[in-house]
Every structure is written in structure tokens, then in C-alpha cells.
Amino acid sequence: MANPVNLILVLPMKHLVRYFLFHLLVSNAYSQQTTYYLTADRVFDGETLHENWAVVVAGDKITMAGPKHSVKEPAGAIKINFSNSTLTPGLIEGHSHLFLYPYNITDWDTQVLKETDAYRTARATVHAKNTLMAGFTTARDLGTEGAGYADAGLKRAINEGIIPGPRLLVAGRAIVSTGSYGPKNYDHDQQIMLGAEAADGNDLIRVVRDQIGKGADIIKVYADYRWGLNGDDQPIFTLDELKLINEVTRSSGRVMVCHAKSKEAIRRAVLAGAETIEHGDFIDAEIGKLMKEHNVTFIPTLAAVEMITQYRGWKKGVAPEPANIINKKKSFKEALANGVTIGMGGDVGVFAHGENVLEMELMAEYGMPVLDVLKAATSVNARAFHLEHQIGFIKAGLKADLLIVSGDPTKNISDLRKVKFVMKDGVVYRNEK
Ligand SMILES: [Zn+2]
């Protein structure tokens, strides 16, 4: 930048006034906001991989992104560069439970029934931090499982900068039908608190509205649960009940998302208007076609199934694959083959928060091209959650949610574990020297 003192000597008065006015405006605009100039060997913009790109961040926004020769370094910008690195949009976790932690440490019943909301919230603050530090700058949290609307409080604390954590979309208590959900098999003389709110028939109208009033951004519904005669997954709501939930939810500007494993539950959820199908363990060509037709996004939660099976004793890579793993793989492949939109969500909480990348590793292992796995956790999830005008891409005007890792995750997805730098809303949360 030219030295203003020298310019005073050479500029005529008219130009001088304009010069100072211009710099006054510019310095005011930028005085409260830090500017960053980020470069990396590779930049994945949410859809495409580029080489020799640069990204400019001012305040909480990306202001420029493109080839280095066209994106000049702004004066006074903080330079960010790591050798052999890849810059990506902040990742989006599609299915988390920040109020749960691995079941091999404490089983689900105990967490729901014996841990106070205060204790669980204290843990959730750490889970939120671990999620953000792993490069996940946004998460959809799909049910507190017995901790009421503590997720809405957690979200507020993050938004106000009181604790570090991802941008959250929260579901609150989530909805199940009477008789279906756990904790289960206690003496019926006891009133057992459930992991979600039970409602049926017309009462669903009141419950949806109550959940919205208490802070739910999303209405999460269990379309099926393992309450079949042999503990198999069977629908817990009728198609009309799901339609009613969806209608009431939609009229508030929100969306319904459905836990649905069995074919029939997925079918009902899709026909009722679900925005995303969570788990989807039994997708076949017919259901895959239906999902594609209705433009719903599949959130596979492969990691939860793998980890629960391992908690029960399965030695992956040593023992043969049990039926549930074989089914899950088959279902995922059918979804891929039938062109279903596949987002990323691992049901993290079943396994450790901060280990979210495990889901992406499994998506690649189960046959999804690695670049598509990266898209799933960025642009695909952003579109599925109606956030594409804010996040999920590296593009001028979007929020400055950025991640830098060592290596090339478009070739080796596990390179996402080599986190060097995390920014959310233009604030740096991690910067490994
Ligand atoms: Zn879940």
C-alpha cells in the first residue's frame, strides 16, 4: 500500500479528499473484521477439486475464492498456508446425538435413566467441542434421548460464543408412538422415562407444536422401531399419522426427518413427506427408486451399525460379517446403484464425538467414490438441510466455515483426520503450527 504521507505531497487537493474518504470507508469496514488469505495445494470447493486456488475471508464471510492469479492477497491479511494440504468447506455432520456417548462405556438405558440432564449437558459441551475440532462446523442433532430440550440450550451457548461447538440444527425430544420405544422391559408398575416423546393419532398435532415451541428446528420421527414379534424393525406409525406430523411440521416452515430401517417404514416416511431417511437398513431397488423419485436424502449411519456390532463382540476383519453388516452393505449399495441422494451422518454418540470421519471412511469402504463421500459431508448435506446458501461450499458470500487437513482426502478419505486448521464463522478454533 502507498504511504499516505508521500501521497499528500504529490496529489492535488481534490484527489487527496477522495483518497482519504476512500480509506476512511475501507478502514471502517474492515476495522472490526480480520481478513485472512488462505492458500493450499488443493482446494475442494464442495463439488470440485482445484489446484492453485486462494480464498479470502473477511469477518465471518468468504469474500473471494478462485485461482491464485485472480485472488490477490488483501493488505493486512493474515496468511494461512500448510505444506501438502487440502482446504475444504467445514464438514457437516448429518446425524449426531451430542447428549449420548459410546454405549460400550455406559449403556443407553443407563445414560437415559440414571444420568441427570445437568451431567449430560456438561458432557455435551465437551462433545460439541470435539466435533468442531474434528472439522465439523455444522451438525444436525437428532434427539437428546431423554435430556428434554437441553440441545436448544446448548445451541444457544454455542451461538453466543460461550462454548466452542458446531452450528446446530436440533430436534429436541423426537417423537415415537406409544409402546414402541425404550428403555424397555422394566416392571410395568414403574413409570419409565422414555428416550423420546410418545404420541399417537390427533395428539401428534399438539406434540409437534409443543416441540417446535420448545426449540426444535427439525421434527424427528421414528417411523419404525424394533418392536416386532421377534424384536424386528416394524412400523410404529400409520401412513396417516406420519402425514399428519409432516403437515403440522411443514406449516411451521420446518421439515420432518424419519428414522426408518425397514422397507415399509421407509415407504411410509417417503410418501408422508420425510425430508431425510435416517439409517435405511433395508433399501432395495424398489425403495431406492421411490426415494429417488421423491428426492429424499438417505443418511446411512454405517458407523453406528459397525460400532454396535463390535461392542457386541464382532472382531472386524477377523470374524465373518454378521447378518446386520451384510444387510447394511447391501442396502447402501442398492441406494448407490439406484441414484438415491446420499448424505453423510454417522449417528455419532453411539461412538465417540470427534470420530465423525469414521462414517466417511465406511462410506468409501462400502463402495462410494471418495470424492462423492466428501461431497456428501459438504454440498450434499448443505442442500439436504436447506443450508446451501450459507455453508457447504467454498464460494464468495458464504459463511467462512473452513477446514484444512494434511494430505489429499479426495484420494484418501482418512486424511480428514489430519486436521491442521478449523474456522467457523470466520473465527479460528484450531491452527496447528
Ligand atoms: Zn440417531
> Ligand 1 centroid to 276 CA: how many Å?
12
Q: In whole angstroms, give the CA distance from residue 278 to residue 153.
A: 24
> Ligand 1 centroid to 38 CA: how many Å?
35
> Ligand 1 centroid to 117 CA: how many Å?
18
- Asked whether residue 116 carries a pLDDT value surpassing 70, the answer given is yes
pLDDT top residue among 29 and 247: 247
Query: Any bridge partners for residue 220, and if so which?
Result: 257
> Ligand 1 centroid to 46 CA: how many Å?
25
> Ligand 1 centroid to 141 CA: how many Å?
8
- Asked whether residue 213 carries a pLDDT value surpassing 60, the answer given is yes
Q: Which of 260, 148, 254 is nearest to 193 (CA)?
A: 148
In contact, 272 and 239? CB cutoff 8 Å: yes
> Ligand 1 centroid to 259 CA: how many Å?
8
> Ligand 1 centroid to 420 CA: how many Å?
29
CB atoms within 10 A of CB 209: 16
> Ligand 1 centroid to 31 CA: how many Å?
43
Q: Give the domain ranges of the chain.
A: 33-89+396-431, 91-384
Helices (H) and strands (E) in the chain, counts: 14, 20
> Ligand 1 centroid to 387 CA: how many Å?
21
The tens digit of pLDDT for each residue in 385-414 reads 999 999 999 999 999 999 999 999 999 999
- Asked whether residue 23 carries a pLDDT value surpassing 90, the answer given is no
The tens digit of pLDDT for each residue in 303-336 reads 999 999 999 999 999 999 999 999 999 999 999 9
> Ligand 1 centroid to 333 CA: how many Å?
21
Q: In whole angstroms, give the CA distance from residue 245 to residue 269.
A: 11
Residue type, 266: I
Q: In whole angstroms, give the CA distance from residue 92 to residue 167.
A: 9
SS3 state at 178: coil
> Ligand 1 centroid to 323 CA: how many Å?
21
Report the first-to-last Cα separation within the chain, whole angstroms.
28
What is the arithmetic mean of pLDDT over 25-34? 57
In contact, 433 and 136? CB cutoff 8 Å: no
The dihedral region occupied by 186, where left means phi > 0, alpha psi between -120 and 50, and beta the remainder, is beta
- pLDDT for the residue 3: 39
> Ligand 1 centroid to 142 CA: how many Å?
6
pLDDT top residue among 348 and 19: 348
In contact, 331 and 277? CB cutoff 8 Å: no
SS3 state at 291: helix
> Ligand 1 centroid to 172 CA: how many Å?
12
> Ligand 1 centroid to 294 CA: how many Å?
22
- Asked whether residue 15 carries a pLDDT value surpassing 70, the answer given is no
Cell numbers 462454548 label which residue?
163
The tens digit of pLDDT for each residue in 125-172 reads 999 999 999 999 999 999 999 999 999 999 999 999 999 999 999 999
Q: Which of 403, 404, 374, 357 is nearest to 83 (CA)?
A: 404
> Ligand 1 centroid to 131 CA: how many Å?
16
Identify the helix (H) or strand (E) that includes residue 337: helix 323-337
Q: Name the band, by pLDDT with cuts 50, 70 and 90, for residue 433.
A: confident
Q: In whole angstroms, give the CA distance from residue 221 to residue 236.
A: 10
> Ligand 1 centroid to 6 CA: how many Å?
64
Burial 383-393 (b: 16+ CB within 10 A, else e): bbbebbebbbb
> Ligand 1 centroid to 190 CA: how many Å?
26
> Ligand 1 centroid to 256 CA: how many Å?
14
The domain defined by 91-384 carries CATH number 3.20.20.140: yes
> Ligand 1 centroid to 91 CA: how many Å?
18
Window from 6-10, 121-125, 189-193, 378-382 with minimum mean pLDDT: 6-10
pTM flag (> 0.85): yes
Q: In whole angstroms, give the CA distance from residue 341 to residue 344.
A: 10
Average pLDDT, the chain: 94
> Ligand 1 centroid to 204 CA: how many Å?
21
> Ligand 1 centroid to 293 CA: how many Å?
25
Query: Any bridge partners for residue 36, and if so which?
Result: 57, 78
Task: Tell me which fold the domain 33-89+396-431 belongs to.
Answer: Urease, subunit C; domain 1 (2.30.40)
In contact, 280 and 300? CB cutoff 8 Å: yes
Q: Name the band, by pLDDT with cuts 50, 70 and 90, for residue 32.
A: low
- pLDDT for the residue 33: 87
Q: What angle do CA 181, 186, 187 make, to 5 degrees?
A: 130
Cell numbers 460464543 label which residue?
161
Residue type, 364: A
Q: Which of 4, 45, 43, 48 is nearest to 27 (CA)?
A: 4
SS3 state at 119: helix
Q: In whole angstroms, give the CA distance from residue 320 to residue 127.
A: 33
> Ligand 1 centroid to 96 CA: how many Å?
6
> Ligand 1 centroid to 194 CA: how many Å?
15
> Ligand 1 centroid to 347 CA: how many Å?
5
